[in-house]
Amino acid sequence: MLFAVHCLDHADALPRRLANYDAHKAHLAQGSVKTVISGPLLAGDGETMIGSLFVFSAETIDDIRAFNAADPFNAANVWQSVSINPFLMRVDNRN
């Protein structure tokens, strides 16, 4: 099943985000859940990172909650809010 995870950063999170970026990438690559897509959310200037967006594949929402809780960005208090919802992909135009 797919899950969308939408995370918004604390206003002062950029230094913590940058300091934990390599650990965050390693976490996403570890494979306890499959990362379908991921990337930073940007402010209106198209450059300033203000959050994260993920689509993960996993068996249960609890798998996603545990995976997200173990993310170094979460441990570093980068995210102010996290929303996790099941996601039904109807269109995929990547091919």
pLDDT bucket at 78, cuts 50 / 70 / 90 = very high
- 21 conformational bin, left if phi > 0, alpha if psi -120 to 50, beta if neither: alpha
pLDDT tens digits, residue range 33-77?
Answer: 999 999 999 999 999 999 999 999 999 999 999 999 999 999 999
Q: In CATH, what is the architecture of 2-87?
A: 2-Layer Sandwich (3.30)
Amino acid (one-letter) located at 68:
N
Phi, psi of 7 (to 5 degrees): -125, 135
pLDDT bucket at 95, cuts 50 / 70 / 90 = confident
What tokens appear for 70 in the block? 């173990």
69 neighbors 26 (Cβ within 8 angstroms): no
Domain ranges of the chain: 2-87
pLDDT bucket at 94, cuts 50 / 70 / 90 = confident
SS3 for 35?
strand
Phi, psi of 93 (to 5 degrees): -100, 20
Instruction: Determine the Cα–Cα distance for residues 33 and 44; give it in Å rounded to an integer.
Output: 31
pLDDT bucket at 92, cuts 50 / 70 / 90 = confident
Residue 14's pLDDT is: 95
